[in-house]
């Protein structure tokens, strides 16, 4: 068994335990704070962060952990291999108690996420993938089942968008696909809907950070889909500021989506 395969069960265990720690604070009275960018920060974020950093560092000695809540931010030197963690993706959904929040763990090697776990503790659902190992979904601790994205069919198109961050290009996309259904959802679960064939396109034209996307991108790409910047290039990691450009996620990696983003003449 290769190294990446041996890392999967341990990484899954870490994500599940982080999820349990997050749920200790869920639907309970909290004192939340704001970070410098005005995004919310809860005790659940910090509890998950502290656990995951301490758990992941010994797993691959010498491979650092970059977390949304870590001190390593823009302007730092990013190594070629690193863990990328969002200890609580969808903090706003956590605060609003919608259940649509996740714990995200990715292993990045030379700019590519080669292992990814997206765990939704309140939904008892986990998605995971690794290069050469397929994409999988596990519900309520039952045996995992393989997932794959679906081929494009314009007559049955399904789009997914962010509840809080749907940008102007989403309206343009819908204008080209008036027959398409639209589902709104929080956190990395939007990517996972594409990965399991329940949606075809997820467009995010507002900025994200690498920890928002790394784990889910691995799940999508291993399931047969693609995650690209709007110039058509695959999204890559280890950028100096850890900031992503606008991105589009497609279940069918062969889909020519560019015409859908152009305003009518």
Q: What is the CATH number of the domain that holds 86?
A: 3.30.540.10
Find the domain containing 75 and state its range. Answer: 3-146
Span 30-50, pLDDT tens digits: 666 656 555 777 889 999 999
pLDDT of residue 1: 46
The domain boundary residue, chosen from 83, 117, 146: 146
Rounded to the nearest 5°, which phi and psi values hold at 10? -70, -45
DSSP string covering the chain, please?
--HHHHHHHHHHHHHHHHHHHHHTTTTS----EE-TTS-EE-HHHHHHHHHHHHHHTTTSTT--EEETTSS--TTSPPPSEEEEEEEEE-HHHHHHT-S--EEEEEEEETTEEEEEEEEEGGGTEEEEEETTTEEEEEETTPPPEE-------GGG-EEEEESS---HHHHHHHHH-TT-EEEEE-TTHHHHHHHTTS-SEEEE-S-EEHHHHHHHHHHHHHTT-EEEETTSPBP----TT-EE--EEEESSTT---GGGGSPP-
Q: Do residues 141 and 204 both lie within one domain?
A: no
User: Is the domain of 183 the same as that of 255?
Assistant: yes
pLDDT surpassing 80 at residue 75: no
Least confident of 67-71, 80-84, 88-92, 181-185: 67-71
Residue 55 tokens, joined: 């758990």
Same domain? 38 vs 137:
yes
Asked which of 111, 146, 181 is the last residue of a domain, the reply is: 146
Q: With a cut of 90, say whether residue 205 has pLDDT above it.
A: no
- The tally of domains found in the chain comes to 2
Same domain for 115 and 185, yes or no, is no
Nearest to 88 by CA among 220, 241, 259, 211: 211
Where does the pLDDT of residue 74 fall: very low under 50, low under 70, confident under 90, or very high at 90 and above?
A: very low
Residues 120 and 159 in one domain: no
The pLDDT of 98-112, averaged and rounded, is 97
d(C-alpha 46, C-alpha 57), whole Å: 17
124 and 14 within one domain: yes
Same domain, 255 and 171: yes
The span from the CA of 198 to the CA of 195, in Å, is 8
Please tell me the pTM assigned to this model: 0.93
Q: For residues 22 and 13, give the distance between their C-alpha atoms in angstroms, rounded to a whole number.
A: 14
Residues 198 and 77 in one domain: no
Residues 160 and 134 in one domain: no
Do both 18 and 142 map to the same domain? yes
Q: What is the CATH number of the domain that holds 212?
A: 3.40.190.80
Query: Which of 112, 129, 146 marks a domain boundary?
Result: 146
230-244 pLDDT, tens digit per residue, is 999 999 999 988 999
Residues 27 and 97 in one domain: yes
Mean pLDDT, the chain, as a whole number? Answer: 91
Same domain, 86 and 116: yes
Closest CA to 242 of 75, 27, 60: 75
What are residue 115's phi and psi, to 5 degrees? -145, 140
């Amino acid at each position: 068994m290769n190294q990446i395969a041996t890392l999967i069960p341990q990484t899954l265990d870490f994500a599940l335990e982080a999820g349990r720690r997050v749920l200790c604070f869920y639907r309970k009275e909290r004192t939340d704070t704001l970070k410098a960018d005005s995004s919310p920060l809860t005790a659940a974020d910090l509890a998950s962060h502290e656990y995951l950093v301490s758990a992941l560092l010994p797993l691959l000695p010498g491979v650092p952990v970059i977390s949304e809540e870590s001190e390593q931010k823009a302007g730092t030197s990013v190594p070629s291999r690193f863990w990328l963690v969002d200890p609580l993706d969808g903090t706003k959904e956590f605060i609003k108690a919608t259940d649509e929040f996740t714990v995200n763990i990715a292993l990045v090697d030379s700019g590519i996420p080669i292992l990814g776990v997206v765990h939704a503790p309140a939904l008892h659902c986990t998605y995971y993938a690794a290069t050469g190992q397929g994409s999988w979904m596990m519900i309520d601790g039952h045996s995992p089942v393989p997932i794959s994205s679906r081929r494009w069919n314009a007559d049955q198109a399904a789009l997914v968008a962010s509840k809080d961050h749907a940008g102007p290009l989403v309206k343009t996309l819908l204008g080209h696909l008036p027959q398409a259904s639209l589902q709104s959802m929080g956190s990395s679960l939007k990517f996972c809907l594409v990965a399991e064939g329940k949606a075809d396109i997820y467009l995010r034209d507002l900025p994200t950070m690498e920890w928002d996307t790394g784990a889910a991108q691995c799940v999508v790409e291993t399931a047969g889909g693609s995650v690209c910047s709007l110039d058509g290039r695959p999204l890559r990691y280890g950028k100096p500021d850890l900031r992503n450009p606008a991105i589009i996620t497609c279940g069918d990696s062969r889909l020519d989506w560019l015409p859908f983003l152009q305003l009518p003449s």
